[in-house]
Structure 1
Amino acid sequence: MFGLIGHLTSLDHAQAVARDLGYPEYADQGLDFWCSAPPQIVDDIKVTSATGQVIEGRYVESCFLPEMLAARRIKTAARKVVNAMAHAQKNGIDITALGGFSSIIFENFNLSQMRQVRNVSLEFERFTTGNTHTAYIICRQVEAAAAKLDINLSTATVAVCGATGDIGSAVCRWLTARTDIQELLLVARNRERLQNLQTELGRGTVADSLEQAVAQADIVVWVASMPKGVNIDPSILKRPCLMIDGGYPKNLDTHFNAEGVYVLKGGIVEHSLDIDWRIMTIVNMDVPARQLFACFAESMLLEFEKWYTNFSWGRNQITLEKMDMIGQSSVRHGFRPLLQLNSPSLVSGGS
């Protein structure tokens, strides 16, 4: 059995979902309530592969909210993640994906030292961040969406915002080794890490600022998850400009009131068959029976393949070989990158 650990995008979102699910007493509660709420299994899932294989899973709501980080409740956030992991393990789930901020909190605050959670000793081989599949899907989105917009990669400048993160560094490796992009702009807060990544890649330019990078780029890949979104002034962007938002919650506005600017939800896949679940309705997917986060799909793929291992783990450990491996599995079982582009100038945005 596979598992998914997730969270809602904001306190307002959590309150609205509680109201929709018939828990009005939860809908009126503030952040303090959600800080103390325990993890819960809120959905049973059935997925059918394109090969005909059927697997079952469960969704674990961690009750973490991004406002906890903004309010500097780091210990609360850490407790939310490890408690959800312990809950998944106690319920016999073989491989569980850490979605959204769950994986970021685990990595950035070194929760691997918190193996003991009350009476549960966490078995980390039961968990994956899902970042390898997410990075693979984002790279495929870059290639396919660029072709759709007639952006020639061999003459294009690509900016990766969040380049030194686990997903960002993997995207940079892929773009460097597997495409012929003309220029790669590296954007992140830690300049030393940026310079180390530049050395590893053997190419790329460390951007002086986010604004400078996006103004120069034909394609912007945003993989720097933050508690609050980032507003980009469309007037500084090239035309056409492809912006791929791989964050959760999404960092960019999904629609720009500007001709020639296209926004794609990065790290999202579509399945070839309907999935029996309700959780993607709660997180506002456009086609909830078919669309999902690539990190969640990774745990499904590991269950399909019986690869019960922490396939994605640690920071900057994603290799091209592992991206190929999970990518081949993704195609085999019927997943494909989302290619629905949002723009006022695009009438039909199907994939």
Structure 2
Amino acid sequence: MFGLIGHLTSLEHAQAVAKELGYPEYADQGLDFWCSAPPQIVDTIKVTSITGQVIEGRYVESCFLPEMLANRRIKAAIRKILNAMAHAQKYGINITALGGFSSIIFEEFKLHESKQVRNIKLEFDRFTTGNTHTAYILCRQVEQASQKLGIELSKATVAVCGATGDIGSAVCRWLDARTDVAELLLIARNQERLQALQDELGRGKIMGLEEALPQADIVVWVASMPKGIEIDFSVLKEPCLLIDGGYPKNMGNQIQHPGVYVLNGGIVEHSLDIDWKIMQIVNMQVPGRQLFACFAESMLLEFEKWYTNFSWGRNQITVENMDKIGQISVKHGFRPLLSF
């Protein structure tokens, strides 16, 4: 059995979903309540591969909300993720994906050092961040969507915003090794990590965001966007492909310029309907078939019975593992979202 640990995008979203799912006691509560709310299994899932194989899974709502980080409720955020992991393990789930902020919190706050949650000793090989599959899907979106728009990669400049993160660095490695992209622009806050990435790749220009945007034919956005930041997207080229790999997806609402095409990054479509209701809650366009690539990774690992933390630790994703997860992604009927 596979598992998915997720969370909602805001307090307002959480209240609305709680009401919809039949948890009226959660629906009118404020942030303090959500800080203390326990994890819940709120969906049972059945997925059929194009090979005919059928697997079952569970969706674990962690009750984490992004406002916990914004309001310095760090201890509450950490507790949410650890409790959700313990809950998944308690129910015998073989491999569980840490979705959204779950993997970020796990890595940023070194939760691998927290091996005991009450009476449960966490077995970390039961969990995966899903970042390898996400990075693979983002790269395939770059390749396939650029072709749709007539952007030749051999002549294109690709800016990766969040280049030193786990997913961003993997995207850079793939674009360098598996494509003939003309130029890579590396954008991130940590200059030391940027220099290390540039040294590893042997190429790429380190730039600030304002300098990079007007030069880019393709922008892969995998960085968090701090509240209050203002970006002038009117400087983008036409045509320009912008792949929004963040969560929640909000670039499409901010960018309304002709010739700028915004694609929801890190999203896959399955060839067959998935029996679940959770994707309706996160407003997927086709909730029966579309999902986050990180969630799909745990499904793929369950299909193949690879019960291991396939994606784990910061900047450990290799091009070879992206190839490996990509092959079984195709095998079981997943494909990158390409609708603008």
Quote the residue 2:36 is aligned against: 36
Change (3 A) 1:110 1:245: same
How big is the shift at 1:168? 0.3
Change (3 A) 1:82 1:226: farther
Quote the residue 1:246 is aligned against: 245
Change (3 A) 1:229 1:145: farther
Cα shift readout 1:163-214 (whole Å, capped 9, x = no counterpart): 000000000000111111111000111011000000000000000x212211
Change (3 A) 1:264 1:254: farther
Aligned-partner residue type, residue 295 of structure 2: F
Paired residues for 1:338-349 under 5 Å: 338-341=337-340
How big is the shift at 1:231? 5.1
Q: Distance in 1 between matches of 2:247 and 2:228?
A: 9
Q: Distance in 1 between matches of 2:249 and 2:171?
A: 18
Q: Distance in 2 between matches of 1:340 and 1:100?
A: 22
Q: Judge conservation of contact 1:271–1:335 (CA < 8 Å) in 2.
A: yes
Counterpart check, 1:74 vs 2:69: no
How big is the shift at 1:253? 3.5
Quote the residue 1:232 is aligned against: 231
Cα shift readout 1:10-30 (whole Å, capped 9, x = no counterpart): 111101111222333322111
Quote the residue 1:335 is aligned against: 334
Bigger CA drift: 7-16 or 225-234? 225-234
Paired residues for 1:10-29 under 5 Å: 10-29=10-29
Aligned-partner residue type, residue 75 of structure 1: K
Counterpart check, 1:141 vs 2:141: yes
Cα shift readout 1:109-160 (whole Å, capped 9, x = no counterpart): 1000000000000000000000000000000000000000001111111000
Quote the residue 2:124 is aligned against: 124
Q: Distance in 2 between matches of 1:216 and 1:75?
A: 41
Quote the residue 1:63 is aligned against: 63
Paired residues for 1:107-122 under 5 Å: 107-122=107-122
How big is the shift at 1:254? 4.1
| Helix, strand or coil at the partner of 1:144 | helix
Q: Distance in 1 between matches of 2:143 and 2:176?
A: 13
Paired residues for 1:1-351 under 5 Å: 1-207=1-207, 209-226=208-225, 228=227, 232-254=231-253, 256-341=255-340
| Helix, strand or coil at the partner of 1:232 | coil
Q: Distance in 2 between matches of 1:205 and 1:315?
A: 22
Change (3 A) 1:227 1:275: farther
Quote the residue 1:349 is aligned against: none
Q: Judge conservation of contact 1:63–1:80 (CA < 8 Å) in 2.
A: yes
Task: Count the aligned residue pairs.
Answer: 340
| Helix, strand or coil at the partner of 1:253 | helix
Change (3 A) 1:246 1:297: same
Q: Distance in 1 between matches of 2:231 and 2:305?
A: 42
How big is the shift at 1:230? 5.8
How much is the aligned-residue C-alpha RMSD, in angstroms? 1.2
How big is the shift at 1:74? 1.2
Q: Distance in 1 between matches of 2:253 and 2:266?
A: 14
Change (3 A) 1:95 1:305: same
| Helix, strand or coil at the partner of 2:276 | coil
Q: Distance in 1 between matches of 2:269 and 2:230?
A: 27
| Helix, strand or coil at the partner of 1:196 | helix
Aligned-partner residue type, residue 160 of structure 2: V
| Helix, strand or coil at the partner of 1:262 | strand
Change (3 A) 1:195 1:109: same
Q: Percent identity?
A: 80
Q: Distance in 2 between matches of 1:41 and 1:219?
A: 39
Unaligned runs of 5+ residues in structure 2 are none
Change (3 A) 1:226 1:83: farther
Q: Judge conservation of contact 1:232–1:252 (CA < 8 Å) in 2.
A: no
How big is the shift at 1:216? 1.3
Q: Judge conservation of contact 1:155–1:182 (CA < 8 Å) in 2.
A: yes
